[in-house]
Amino acid sequence: MAISFDQSIAVHVRALAVTERRAELLASNLANADTPGYKARDIDFRAALEAAGGQQGLALERSDPGHLPAASGGHGSMSVEYRVPTQPSLDGNTVDTHLEQARFAENALRYEAALTFIGGRIRGLRQAIKGQ
């Protein structure tokens, strides 16, 4: 019975990848807050996380070696969508700076949470190995 990293922290590693992508998009939105004609974009976090193999928190159980593992979704599963503008603007720019800042802060918090969970798992496994 081998220790499998994949089963214990797969969802957090996936959340890390999605929050990274999302952080790039939100940073672009903030940098282009004054660009005429720029449309704000974002990733639907929950949909992107579920598009990966399995639902949130549940890993695919394989009771037989012949069972195929769940497909780990590639980068194509993260769909970039346009944000619905909150107020009309003269130059076609749909970035609401305060909204984007709040979303960016929330995204950074998700990233730190995923890091904390992964770090906790690693430390727990290390303790189990050392026997302390």
Partner 1 sequence: MGLYNIFAVAGSGMSAQSVRLNTVASNLANADAAAGSPEDVYRARQVVFQAVMDGAIGGAEGGGVPVEVVGIRESQAPPRKAYEPNSPLADAEGYVYYANVNPVEQMANMISASRSYQSDVAVMNTARQLMERTLQLGRQ
Instruction: Check: CB of residue 45 under 8 Å from CB of residue 18.
Output: yes
Nearer to partner 1 by C-beta: 26 or 52?
26
Report in angstroms how near the CB of residue 76 gets to partner 1 at its nearest.
Answer: 8
- CA separation, residue 90 to residues 48, 64, 87, 102, 112 (Å): 33, 61, 10, 24, 37
Nearer to partner 1 by C-beta: 60 or 77?
77
Total residues belonging to the chain: 132
Q: Which two tokens mark 110?
A: 């998700």
Could you give phi then psi for residue 77, rounded to 5 degrees?
-80, -10
Helices (H), 39-81: 45-51
Rounded to whole angstroms, the Cα distance separating 9 from 92 reads 42
Question: From the list 71, 92, 102, 112, which residue makes contact with partner 1 (rule: CB under 8 A)?
Answer: 112
Binding span for partner 1 by CB under 8 A among 49-57, 64-72, 82-90, 122-130? 122-130
Residue 60 in contact with partner 1, rule: CB under 8 A: no
Residue 11 in contact with partner 1, rule: CB under 8 A: no
Residue 105 in contact with partner 1, rule: CB under 8 A: yes
List of residues contacting partner 1 (CB under 8 A): 17, 20-21, 23-28, 30-38, 43, 75-76, 78, 80, 97, 101, 104-105, 108, 111-112, 115, 118-119, 122-123, 126
